[in-house]
Structure 1
Amino acid sequence: MAKAKFKLKEPNSKTETLIYLNYYYNYKRFKYSTGEKINPKFWNPTGQRAKESKQFPQYPEFNSRLDILQNGINTAYRRLLNDGIQPNNEILKKALEAELSGNILQANKKTFFDFVEGYIEESKLNKKSGTIKVYNTTFKYLKEYAKKINKSIDFESINLEFYNQYTSYLAVDSNLSANTVGKHIKTIKSFMNEATERGYNENLEFKKRKFKTLREEADTIYLNVDELKAMEDIDLSSSPRLEKVRDLFLVGCYTGLRFSDFTQIKPENIISDKSMLQIRTQKTGERVSIPLHQTVKNILKKYNNNLPTAYTNQVMNRYLKDVASLAQLKDEVETTITKGGVMKKEAVKKFNLVTTHTARRSFATNLFLADIPAISIMKITGHKTERSFMQYIRVTQEQNADKLLNHPFFN
């Protein structure tokens, strides 16, 4: 027997979350976004309706809308059977929307820009400021492009023709790098995925293989053990700000933690009797255990396990270049970047390429070159696949050959 159930998208959320309609029929499940949202504390999971609460005075109208949805799906299903049509999810969706036409669906109709604007505001409650910044920047370029072509951009507009014209606009007219263009496309795909899941969009052109996220391998560097030792040996006592930046950076180089994590290490994260660092990472929420390298032990002892407060990432990156320059990291590195649709090559001093993220790459690469198994390193870096990990480390052809020389196959 067919049965309708309502389910919260995030039942443990502290803020409003979307409600899905799940309809079970013929051993199949039809999932439909109701467009309705509710704070889980006002939701009765047993009755699958809003609680009768003075804190949620709109519960009668809210529950009435869910009743309409439930009656609509039941009626749509019966009509199909009565008409001799074997339902499937696609047919059932059309039948439901025909049943609800002029009622719920019209109320939920939003333009693409309306949806994006609302989604950004909603995301401020549960996403990091960096993510919101990316969303806002992508939205800004979309609005500028719409103004330039003097056309509105709606869900139906996001197709392969739009993709080709918009990527060209970003690369040529806006002079953005290939990776930045790729980041904007990735964000647009995120917007479209979310809108599709919520029932606002039916256009799936953005899922096609040619609607791809552009990516150019960045000219990122790593610092080898000798270079790290050179940084460690500099006497920076006359410049406390550079000394602090250097010490925090070295902690990152020997723990593999991201900037957001190695700058938040507290005394309670140090397990002295096991000579280990345990911390829950901010980005993934995973708890990692990292053996303490002697350099990290020395730095922790220097600050009595209370590492100094870090500058912002941008300020750290600026000061790090000064530290790397003092450490004589002045070899020239050839960099390439595609900007404005043109690939440009440039020789850059190595110290100018050092950033806080260099620490994490240095950790992964140095451990890999020390023949520590990739799976052990990945437990710390958080990479899920060896393929993504291998893209992360920086190993030259010569270094790779040196490693192979010690392999039994070549001996």
Structure 2
Amino acid sequence: MAKAKFILKEPKSKSDTLIYMLYNYQYKRFKYSTGEKINPKFWNATNQRIRETKQFAEYPEFNTRLDKLENGIKNAFRRLLNDGIQPNNTILKQALEAELSDNILRPTKKSFFNFIKDFIEESRLNKKSGTITVYNTTFKYLKEYAQKINKPLDFENINLEFYNTYLSYLTKEKELSTNTVGKHIKTIKTFLNEATDRELNTNLEFKKTKFKTLREDSDSIYLSIDELKKIEKLDLKDKAKLEKVRDLFLIGCYTGLRFSDFTQIKPENIVNNRSMLQIRTQKTGERVSIPLHQTVRDILEKYDNELPKSISNQKMNEYIKDVVEAAEINHKIETTITKGGKIEKKPIEKFNLVTTHTARRSFATNLYLADIPSISIMKITGHKTERSFLKYVRVTQEQNADKLLNHPFFK
């Protein structure tokens, strides 16, 4: 028997989320965005309607609109059967929208740029500031491109022709690196996926394989155990700021945590008689348990488990280079980057390539070289597949050969 139900797009959201209608018929499922949004705290999942509460005084009108939509889908389905038309999702959607009056539940037509603008404002409620910055930068380039070609960009003209000409614009005119261009394409896809979910966009050209996110392997480096020991042995007592930066950085190198996590370690995260660190990561929300390396124990004891307050990630990236330079880790590494469509190679002293993220990469690589199983390291780093993990570790051909020499197969 055909049946309609209403669900929230993000039932655990702390802010307003879309309401979808699901209609099961003839072993098929039809999904339709109502265009309505509600905070989940006002939603009654059992009744599939807004709760009757003074906190949301307009609940009667809101529920009436949902009732009308439910009646609309039932009437549309019944009419198709009566007319001898075999329903499918496309036909059912057309019949439903013909059934509905123009003033209810149908999403208002928005332009691509107006949607992006509103989506960025919505995202400020539940996205990190770094994500908002990425969204705004991508939006800025899109507006500049539209102005350059003297033609509006809307959903219907985001196609493979746009993709190719926009890549050329970002690469040759803006002289962006391949990975930066890839980040902008990825963000455009984020915008389009969201607009498609809200039924504001029906153009699916962006889902084609040729509309791809570009990426090239970066020259990310790691610090070996010997290099970490040189950093640890530095006498920085007369340079308090650099000493604190060094100590926090080493915590990251021996825990594998991101900057946002290793700078937020509290005494309550140290458990099992100071042998284990347990923390819920900010990016994924997962709880990880990490055995404490002796270096981490020594640093925690130095600060009585109250680690120094961190400076910003940007400033720490600046100061950690001074620390690594002081440890005389300054041999040159050839770096390669594709910028403006051209490959640029240049030697850079290693300390200039070190950032806070080097700590996490160093942790993963050093544990891998120590023959700790990948699956155990991935439990800490959060990589979902071994393939993605192995792209993350920085192991040279020589190191890989040395590792294999100790394998029983080569004995």
What TM-score do the two structures reach when normalised by structure 1?
Answer: 0.97
Deviations 1:14-50 (A, max 9, x none): 3211100010111222111111001223223333222
Confirm or deny that 1:187 pairs with 2:187: yes
- Amino acid paired to 2:39: N
- AA of the residue aligned to 1:170: L
1:179–1:215: 8 Å Cα contact kept in structure 2? Answer: yes
Cα distance, 1:127 vs. partner? Answer: 1.1
Q: Specify the code of the residue in structure 2 equivalent to 1:226.
A: D
User: Residues of 1 paired with 2:396 and 2:318: CA distance?
Assistant: 27
Report the CA distance between 1:272 and its aligned residue: 4.8
Cα displacement string for residues 307-328 of structure 1 (whole angstroms, at most 9, x for unaligned residues): 1011100000000110111111
Residue 101 of structure 1 and its aligned partner are, at CA, apart by: 6.4
**Which residue of 2 is the match for residue 199 of structure 1?**
199
Q: Counterpart of 2:210? A: 210
Paired with 2:16 and 2:294, the residues of 1 have a C-alpha distance of 47
| Counterpart AA for 1:338 | T
Please tell me whether the aligned partners of residues 107 and 199 of structure 2 are also in contact (alpha carbons under 8 angstroms).
Answer: no
Single out whichever of 171-180 and 59-68 deviates more from structure 2: 59-68
Paired residue for 1:289? 289
Whole-angstrom distance in 1 between the partners of 2:352 and 2:15:
43
Give the distance between the partners of 2:319 and 2:390, measured in 1 at CA.
29
Distance apart, 1:106 and its partner CA: 5.7
Distance 1:101 1:182 in 2: 42
Q: Which amino acid aligns with 1:225?
A: I
CA gap of 1:107–1:273, structure 2 versus 1, over 3 A, is closer
Contact 2:274 2:297 in 1 (8 A): no
Is 2:233 aligned against 1:271?
A: no
Residue matched to 2:397: 397
Report the 3-state secondary structure (helix = DSSP H, G, I; strand = E; otherwise coil) of the residue aligned with 2:153.
Answer: coil
Aligned partners of 1:300 and 1:321: how far apart in 2?
Answer: 23
* Alpha-carbon distance, 1:214 to partner: 0.4
The amino acid across from 2:353 in the alignment is L
Residue 361 of structure 1 corresponds to 361
Match of 1:317 in 2: 317
User: d(CA) in 2 for partners of 1:105 and 1:152?
Assistant: 28
Match runs of 1:118-137 below 5 Å: 118-137=118-137
The residue matched to 1:108 in structure 2 has which SS?
coil
Q: Tell whether the 8 Å contact from 1:222 to 1:394 is kept in structure 2 after alignment.
A: yes
CA drift at 1:107: 5.0
Contact 2:35 2:106 in 1 (8 A): no
1:252-308 deviation digits (Å, cap 9, x = unpaired):
000000000000001111115261111111111111111111111111111111110
Is 1:98 paired with 2:120?
A: no
Q: 1:90 Cα shift? A: 2.4
3-state SS of 1:273 partner: coil
Native 8 Å contact 1:97 1:105 kept in 2: no
User: Cα–Cα, structure 1 residues 141 and 385, in superposed 2: closer, same or farther, change >3 Å?
Assistant: same
SS of structure 1 residue aligned to 2:254: helix
| Corresponding residue for residue 144 of structure 1 | 144
Matched, 1:116 2:139: no
SS in structure 1 at match of 2:220 = coil
| One-letter amino acid matched to 2:347 | A
Q: Is the 1:34–1:199 contact (alpha carbons within 8 Å) kept by the matching residues of 2?
A: no
> For the aligned residues, what is the CA RMSD?
1.4
Q: What's the % identity of the aligned pairs?
A: 74
> What one-letter code is carried by the residue in structure 1 that aligns with 2:343?
M
Q: What SS does structure 1 have at the residue aligned with 2:55?
A: coil
Q: Which range moved further: 345-354 or 141-150?
A: 141-150
CA contact (8 A) 1:8 1:19 kept: yes
Look up the match of 1:6: 6
Any stretches of 5+ residues in structure 2 without a counterpart? none
Residue 374 of structure 1 aligns with an amino acid whose one-letter code is S
Q: Report the 3-state secondary structure (helix = DSSP H, G, I; strand = E; otherwise coil) of the residue aligned with 1:135.
A: helix
Q: Distance in 2 between matches of 1:387 and 1:238?
A: 44
CA distance in 1, matches of 2:89, 2:187: 28
2:75 aligned partner: 75
Q: How far apart are the structure 1 equivalents of 2:242 and 2:99?
A: 67
Note the C-alpha offset of 1:91.
2.2
Task: State whether residues 34 and 106 of structure 2, in contact with CA within 8 Å, keep that contact through their aligned partners in structure 1.
Answer: no
For residues 286 and 273 of structure 1, the distance between their equivalents in structure 2, rounded to whole angstroms, comes to 22
Who is 1:351 aligned against? 351
**Conserved 8 A contact 2:8-2:19:** yes
* AA aligned opposite 1:207: K
* Alpha-carbon offset, residue 143 of structure 1: 1.1
Superposed displacement of residue 105, structure 1: 6.4
Give 1:261's aligned residue: 261
Separation (CA, whole Å) in 2 of partners of 1:275 and 1:121: 44
Aligned to 1:163: 163
- Checking the alignment, whether the CA contact within 8 Å between 2:34 and 2:107 is kept in structure 1 is no
Q: Tell which deviates more after alignment, 5-14 or 218-227.
A: 5-14
User: CA deviation digits over 1:364-384, x for unaligned, max 9?
Assistant: 000000111101111111101
Once residues 403 and 56 of structure 2 are traced to their aligned partners in structure 1, the CA distance between those partners, rounded to angstroms, is: 65
Q: How far 1:168 sits from its partner (Å)? A: 1.1
* Separation in 1, partners of 2:331, 2:141: 38
The aligned residue for residue 154 of structure 1 is: 154
Q: How many residues align?
A: 411
Deviations 1:174-194 (Å, cap 9, x if unpaired)?
111110110011011011111
Are the counterparts in 1 of residues 36 and 105 from structure 2 also a CA contact under 8 Å?
A: no
> Could you say if the C-alpha distance between residues 101 and 148 of structure 1 is closer, same or farther in structure 2, counting changes exceeding 3 Å?
farther
In structure 1, C-alpha distance between the alignment counterparts of 2:202 and 2:104, rounded to whole Å = 17
Q: How far has the Cα of 1:140 moved from its partner? A: 1.1
Which residue number corresponds to residue 300 of structure 2?
300
- SS for the counterpart of 1:187 is helix
